[in-house]
Amino acid sequence: MSFFRFILYAIVPFLPIVCRGQSDVYEVTTGAIHFHSDAPQELIKATSKNLVGVIDASKRTFLFKISVASFAGFNSPLQKEHFNENYMESEIFPYASFSGKIIEEIDLTKDGDFNVRAKGKLSIHGVEHQRIIKCHVMCRSGTIMVQSDFTVLLADYNIKIPRIVSDKLSPEINVSINAILSSRPSS
């Protein structure tokens, strides 16, 4: 088993959907996570296009994961450094992940648009919380497109904001996820 596949099956984050085709397992082929902090004195935005993940359509389970250090687009290199070293501690907690099960028992084997809820463990900064995240899914010819917007409270994940920068960093972070998954050929 390759390291990449091991990672996909071990721990992976944020949004799922099911669609059956040649295989019951779907892998992220293109995925991005974008976040922004809209504080009184500063708007911070960053994006990572390194989302990896799998969905097992027969079990309605999913695993998604992102490397915290892969986020780019900050206002300055120093801001990115503070993000990784002081807040996310990405050397200690290198990944954020979301794993769980799709709540709705809907048949996504046919093309269509669906609104579903993904229930699972969201792990950020070494802390796990049960979350239900709403997702919009479009299934087209064996390809799944997933979109979701949700918020993360920094305090829930033990990410501390020093008082001196409290006007520059929002305690609530807005997250957007877009992913395209394709069926993996049967082994």
Rounded to the nearest 5°, which phi and psi values hold at 147?
A: -135, 140
H or E element in which residue 3 lies? helix 3-10
The string of pLDDT tens digits covering residues 53-65 is: 988 777 778 999 9
Find the mean pLDDT for residues 49-74.
91
55 or 121: which carries more pLDDT confidence?
A: 121
Query: Mean pLDDT in the chain?
Result: 85
Query: Could you give the angle at the alpha carbon of 153 between the alpha carbons of 148 and 156, nearest 5°?
Result: 120
Q: Which residue has the tokens 């922004």?
A: 36
Find the mean pLDDT for residues 78-103.
94
How far apart (Å, rounded) are the C-alpha atoms in residues 67 and 50? 7
The string of pLDDT tens digits covering residues 168-187 is: 889 999 999 999 999 876 65
Residue 138 has a pLDDT of 87
Q: So what CATH class is 3-183?
A: mainly beta
Residue 162 has a pLDDT of 85
Total-model pTM: 0.83
Q: Where are the domains of the chain?
A: 3-183
Residues 38 and 47 sit within 8 Å (Cβ to Cβ): no
Find the mean pLDDT for residues 34-57.
92
Short-list 131, 137, 105, CA closest to 118: 131
